[in-house]
């Protein structure tokens, strides 16, 4: 992309500046979370603290069953991720390889749903959950998260499957494989880049979602982890250290998943960019 040394230097400086801007809020969160309890505010705009302390993290584990809330989040998130990968890859394979009426209009209709944010759907989703008796249950979050994540998965999988050589499927058909068997045994094992993109995106979206979880889950034992900071978000936020310690704990699973899967990220996002 950058041809000369001067252009590479300018590009590096620009990316370094953007990274610094992005990391400032993260550094402020960590500073407040690790600040000693006697220090009411960090210096230099919230970036400098006098010493390190785990008191805020200890109080978080003392105030709420964090592991229980983490378990709730993982059950909801992992189930929605599994549904999105399975159903999104099946639909993406159908849009990429099968012939049926109104295939293109249906695909573009599905892509329009990508413009719908969860906050805009809170009222209808709440009414649907209430009508089906899904309030205060895991399914009240799993099903909406999966439904909202499937269109993105279809777009990613369709682009990746379009870039795959058809000879793979032709060889499977000669061996007597059905369409479903071809998808399961031939296509999905080589689709890790696209699967990683969908997994990371859906995991981040479901694990960090707050608004729908707040109006759907009322029982304390069923609440996911993102609802725990509400304990400390009073009118005066008298315990900012505990609140930011909880936010720090929330970011750890997302970072772990991204680090484990990020090597597939670029190839998955660019799949189908030229062909298909």
Helix (H) or strand (E) holding 188: none
pLDDT (tens, 9 = 90+) of the chain, 276 residues, equals: 556 787 788 888 998 998 888 888 888 888 888 877 666 555 444 556 666 778 888 888 888 888 999 999 999 999 999 999 999 999 999 998 888 888 889 998 888 888 887 788 899 999 999 999 999 999 999 999 999 999 999 999 998 898 888 888 888 888 888 888 888 888 888 888 889 889 999 999 999 999 999 999 999 899 999 998 887 766 556 677 888 888 888 898 888 888 887 776 665 555 544 444
Quote the Cα angle for 176-107-188, to 5°: 35
Phi/psi for 204 (5° steps) reads -65, -45
Strand partners, 43: 48
What's this model's pTM, rounded to 2 decimal places?
0.83
CA quadruple 36, 39, 45, 50: dihedral positive or negative?
negative
Q: Which residue has the tokens 């809170």?
A: 122
What residues contact 38, with CB distance under 8 A and at least 6 apart? none
The pair of three-digit structure tokens given for residue 26, joined into one six-digit string? 């993260």
> What pLDDT is stored for residue 47 in this prediction?
59
CA quadruple 106, 111, 114, 116: dihedral positive or negative?
negative
In which residue ranges of the chain is CATH 1.10.3720.10 found? 54-270
Q: Does domain 54-270 have CATH number 1.10.3720.10?
A: yes
CB 76 within 8 A of CB 146: no
Phi/psi for 53 (5° steps) reads -145, 145
């Amino acid at each position: 992309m950058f041809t000369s040394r001067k252009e590479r230097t300018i590009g590096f400086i620009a990316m370094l500046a953007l990274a610094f801007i992005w990391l400032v809020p993260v550094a402020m969160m960590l500073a407040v979370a690790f600040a000693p309890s006697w220090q009411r505010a960090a210096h230099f705009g919230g970036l400098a603290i006098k010493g390190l302390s785990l008191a805020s993290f200890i109080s978080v584990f003392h105030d709420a069953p964090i592991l229980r809330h983490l378990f709730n989040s993982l059950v909801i998130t992992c189930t929605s991720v599994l549904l999105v990968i399975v159903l999104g890859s099946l639909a993406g394979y159908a849009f990429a390889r099968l012939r049926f009426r109104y295939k293109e209009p249906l695909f573009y209709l599905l892509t329009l749903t990508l413009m719908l944010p969860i906050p805009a759907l809170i009222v209808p989703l709440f009414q649907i959950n209430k009508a089906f008796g899904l309030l205060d249950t895991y399914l009240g979050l799993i099903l909406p998260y999966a439904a909202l994540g499937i269109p993105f998965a279809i777009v990613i999988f369709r682009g990746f499957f379009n870039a795959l050589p058809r000879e793979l499927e032709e060889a499977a058909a000669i061996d007597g494989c059905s369409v479903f068997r071809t998808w399961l045994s031939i296509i999905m094992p080589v689709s890790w880049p696209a699967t990683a993109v969908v997994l990371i995106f859906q995991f981040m979206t479901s694990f960090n979602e707050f608004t729908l979880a707040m109006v759907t889950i009322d029982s304390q034992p069923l609440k996911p982890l993102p609802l725990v900071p509400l304990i400390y978000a009073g009118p005066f936020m008298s315990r900012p250290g505990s609140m930011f310690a909880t936010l720090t704990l929330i970011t750890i699973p997302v970072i772990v998943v991204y680090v484990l899967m990020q090597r597939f990220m670029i190839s998955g996002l660019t799949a189908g960019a030229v062909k298909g």
